[in-house]
Chains A and B, each alone.
Chain A
Amino acid sequence: MATETLTLGKAINRGLRRALEHDPKVVIMGEDVGKLGGVFRITDGLQKDFGENRVIDTPLAESGIIGTAVGLSIRGYRPICEIQFDGFVYPAYDQIVSQVAKMHYRSQGKVRVPMVIRIPFGGGIGAVEHHSESPEAYFAHTAGLKVVACSSPQDAYTMIQQAVASDDPIVFLEPKRRYHEKGQVDLDAPLGDAYPLHAARVVRPGRDATLLAYGPMVRTAMEAASAAEEDGRDLEVIDLRTLSPLDLGPVYESVKRTGRCVVVHEAPGNLGLGSEIAARITEECFYSLEAPVLRVTGFDTPYPAARLEEDYLPNLDRVLDGVDRTFGW
């Protein structure tokens, strides 16, 4: 087993490299992905090794990136599109929700667009506006798209390869504030043996309450679980991983045991993923619940100036406050 310690960003890079090696139809396209290796260097070195036809610096036009990827897909390619920052996906929004998501359905299954749309998402890096958004609910709300979020280097490495191999169009969310965090990655494990792409995972077993998180908030939830231990509370943490379709089986199973659940995400709470999850848990686990499902989320304001983001984003204290409230019920 060839395990290496890699940052999450580097793990995606290695996963992309594997995908390019594995299938000559895989192409990477986006702004600055070539020579520069992307603004986060996630595609570093790939153009050098695979050439300008496999790793394509595109014009500065997001609708163009996604729209041409649709055409390339129809032609038999498997494009991996990089959107530079979350806040810049909206010029491509029409192509994604009106075209990418609907091709397969409206062609009665005859047309496939096996593309991956990579988006570094979320805040906490002190950036200027439009660089810290969490647009997942827009995409999860669109039938025909799949949406996943990775949170650890190992998952990042396998999930990106699974997403590329999938025939479904996938919005692949990368927690940009975690790009530099390190973890063990098994580089040689066969993809077929990997944990499934569309499955949630218990990342910390516990008895007293269930914490649900994905992407950047998984680590925060883990820290909250450690801190809660000091208060004598044993929290289970589940990394959702797949946001559409949601894999709530393990969640129901957990909540039925613990009786309490707190959902954590950075995106605004109003009509966010947490709302859907809370509703479904209520439907499925009503008689097991000791408290309503609570949400700890970003506020219903635009993403604020960087010096206010600590107040906007759910942090350790706010997650623990949510935990306190669920026990205070």
Chain B
Amino acid sequence: MAKGDPAGTARGRRATPRSARSGGKSPGTDLVQLLTPEGDRIDKVTWSDGTEYSVDFTDEEYRGLYRDLVLVRRLDAEATALQRQGELGIWASLLGQEAAQVGSGRALRPQDMAFPTYREHGVLYCRGIDPIMPLGLFRGVDLGGWDPNEFKFNMYTIVIGAQTLHATGYAMGVNMDGRTGTDDGEAVIAYFGDGASAQGDVNEAFIWSAVFNAPVVFFCQNNQYAISEPLERQTRIPLYQRAAGFGFPGVRVDGNDVLATYAVTRAALDNARHGQGPTLIEAYTYRMGAHTTTDDPTRYRIASEVEAWQAKDPIARVKAFLTRQGIADDAFLAEVEEQAKQEALRLRERVLEMPDPEPLTLFDNVFPNGSPEVDAQREFTARYLDSFEGSVH
């Protein structure tokens, strides 16, 4: 193996989810962490394959990451509230996963392409997309309103695991276009969950990316559950170790540590853009809320487990670090709070104003070249709607 065998160090170790579930213990040394839950900085970490991970941020950059985390959490909370008030059909909250998303999202360069699943509101934010966009999907007024080409952030993907193959194919195209091998080369990132790791598509993506040396980073947010099913229903080994069997490196990072997720993702993306092929990153984290607003987590997990993860909160530890180091003072923290509040308020106002789509848009964009059948159905429907008195469409 080109980059050493990450499985070598962990052979024979128990699948971690058991210990994690029974009290939320740290998964041990197989984890890159640069900021402890208490807010202590770790200078650098050497992974078992010899790779060194560290970050060197300016104070301004640290503050920026903190701002991102707070904003993303606040907007997510607003969306959850909007769902409760009937303004959204459903919402998939990222609560608890902010660091994994902001860390990886900020590690992306403008030329990199991202393929998300349906919970990546934090990455979406980092890509510069208006945070109202996913709310249209969950409100049911559209199927995703942003331009994936413009923002280099594909549409949300609800069919579990499908996007990992799209990312791989896109990355193969990057190779074919000769856009790897330099510092300004392109890389691709695919987001998915621990549950998705069981899908055939994801395993096929692993095989293809390895065989074609595709510049793709597989970013698995292991939030411990696929709806009600705990990790051990999907795997008996730590997920990052899967990579070894497919022939590329795997690394596990503390997904609640924004610095570590940034460092690990940046390194994997750089490897990809320099022609070194895929990496699997397992961001070890926890979904603090329900799977979606229709879910009842009390049926399948216990309060003490949630509390144990509360102690590892991704924002609290950055805050502790920043204040202790004098990087952030009360005025800054208050300013960020206020900004988050204002942006959430604006989001709310705009959601309430989001109009329902016109009925006949139903027939738009079925085919780029149109279809006589669809056109006929549009005309039929227009006449039909006109037959109702006082109809407007």
Contact = CB atoms under 8 A, between A and B. Distances in A.
Interface of A: 31-32, 34-37, 39, 57-61, 63-64, 87-88, 90-91, 126-131, 270, 299-302, 304-309, 311-312, 317-318, 321
A37 B294 CA distance: 14
Contact of B299 (A36, A57, A88, A127): A36
Given A131-B158, A308-B362, 17 more contacts: A31-B227, A35-B299, A36-B299, A57-B229, A59-B195, A59-B234, A60-B195, A61-B199, A127-B89, A127-B90, A128-B140, A299-B362, A299-B381, A300-B373, A300-B374, A301-B363, A304-B143
B198 interface: yes
A130 B159 contact: yes
A60 B141 contact: no
Given A59-B234, A305-B142, A299 B158 contact: no
Nearest to A131: B158
B356 interface: yes
B357 interface: yes
Contacts of B198: 59-61, 64
Given A35-B300, A301-B362, A128 B158 contact: yes
Contacts of A128: 89-90, 118, 137-138, 140, 158
A37 B371 CA distance: 43
Contacts of B304: none
B377 to A, nearest CB: 5
A-B pairs, 9 with minimum CB distance: A306-B140, A36-B228, A59-B198, A60-B195, A311-B359, A61-B198, A307-B140, A307-B356, A32-B228
A304 B228 contact: no
Interface of B: 89-90, 118, 137-143, 158-160, 195-196, 198-201, 226-229, 233-234, 294, 296, 299-300, 356-357, 359, 361-363, 366, 371, 373-374, 377, 381, 384, 388
9 contacts: A31-B229, A60-B160, A60-B234, A61-B198, A91-B200, A301-B366, A306-B89, A307-B357, A308-B362
A31 B384 contact: no
Contacts of B366: 300-302
Contacts of B143: 129, 304-305
A59 B227 CA distance: 11
Nearest to A84: B227
Contacts, number: 114
A302 B233 CA distance: 33
Nearest to A33: B228
A300 B373 CA distance: 8
Given A58-B233, A91-B201, A300-B371, A35 B158 contact: no
Contacts of B356: 307-308
Contact of B374 (A37, A60, A301): A301
A264 B266 CA distance: 54
A39 B227 CA distance: 9
A61 B203 CA distance: 11
Contacts of B89: 126-128, 306
Given A36-B227, A301-B362, A304-B362, A126 B201 contact: no
Contact of B384 (A131, A305, A321): A321
Contacts of B90: 127-128
A200 to B, nearest CB: 28
Contacts of B359: 308, 311
Contact of A63 (B142, B200, B300): B200
Interface centre among B140, B361, B377 (most CB of A within 10 A): B140
B362 A307 contact: no
Nearest to A270: B373
Given A60-B198, A91-B201, A311-B359, A36 B300 contact: yes
Contacts of B362: 299, 301, 304, 308, 311-312
Nearest to A302: B366
A31 B225 CA distance: 12
Given A299-B374, A321-B384, A307 B139 contact: yes
A300 B140 CA distance: 19
Contacts of A306: 89, 139-140
B253 to A, nearest CB: 22
